[in-house]
Amino acid sequence: MDEVKIVEIKEDIVSRNNEQAKQIRAELADQKVFLLNVMSSPGSGKTTLLTALINRLKSRFSIGVIEADIDSAVDAETIAAKTGVKTIQMHTAGACHITCQMSWEALCALGIEGLDMVVLENIGNLVCPAEFDTGADANLVLLSVPEGDDKPIKYPLMFEVADIVAVTKTDVMPVFDFDKERVSANVKRRNDKAPVFFVSAPLGVGIEELADYIGDLVAGKMAKQGKK
């Protein structure tokens, strides 16, 4: 009978993903491309908001989009038709989040040469995507009014990893028990660094401010990396 041995591993299960995230960041710095990772629950308006943001930013920057879903190409078709920017659809084969391996493959498939910014629309989910770093420069987290202003308390990690929070569908606020100050306080409790924007894509409310804020981050990275 063979002797039983213990092999010590002591490895965090996200440690590999974090290593790959570093490699992606190095490559993106080298290519001077800004990666924005967009996360929220399903149906909170990621695609609609992105369409509005991209249409404001596309004259300033060369933009590419990666749409991630479990199935279908609905989002990629919508974004491509409404913005005209280079878009690809990735399928996660059932997985509820994007790992660095997936974001790297998608970036290669999209082709980042000549781009200033890539927008990665993550799987609609407030839990798992927060745990897996995608190698992005910034995480934009959406929270739509119908979901309720208590979400930052219920899904702490998602709001802790956010760099920017956008409250969407503010046009329906009068019919929901949703309080602007309460949501801001709930976000602040989790994360006192992320600014909170209140937007309505169909009405065009707050889009300019949010687009400018993101545009400044992209321009900041380009300037830092010496890109004109």
Partner 1 sequence: MHELGIVLQVVEQAEDVAKQNQVQKVLRLTLEVGEVSGIVPNLFEDCFEWAKKRTEHLKECTLNMVILEALTYCEDCGETYRTVEFAKKCPHCGSYKTYLVTGNEINIKDIEVV
From 6-14, 49-57, 73-81, 167-175, give the range in contact with partner 1 by CB under 8 A: 6-14
- 5 near partner 1 (CB under 8 A): yes
50: which 2 tokens? Answer: 């992105």
Q: What is the DSSP string of 139-181?
A: EEEEEEGGG-TTHHHHSHHHHHS-SEEEEE-GGGGGGS---HH
- 171 near partner 1 (CB under 8 A): no
Which is closer to partner 1, CB of 6 or CB of 175?
Answer: 6
Which is closer to partner 1, CB of 87 or CB of 191?
Answer: 191
DSSP 2: P
From 5-13, 32-40, 102-110, 142-150, give the range in contact with partner 1 by CB under 8 A: 5-13
Which is closer to partner 1, CB of 128 or CB of 222?
Answer: 128
Please give the Cα distance from 81 to 79 (Å, whole number): 6
How many Cα atoms within 13 Å fall on the side-chain side of residue 69? 15
CB of 111 to partner 1, least distance (A): 27
46: left (phi over 0), alpha (psi -120 to 50) or beta: alpha
Q: List Cα–Cα distances, 79 to 13, 20, 50, 160, in angstroms.
A: 34, 28, 8, 28
Say if residues 41 and 125 touch (Cβ distance below 8 Å): yes
Which is closer to partner 1, CB of 77 or CB of 150?
Answer: 150
Which is closer to partner 1, CB of 96 or CB of 205?
Answer: 96
For partner 1, the binding residue among 27, 91, 131, 222 (CB under 8 A) is 131
CB of 148 to partner 1, least distance (A): 18
Contacts with partner 1, residue ranges (CB under 8 A): 2-14, 16-17, 95-97, 127-128, 131, 156-157, 189-190
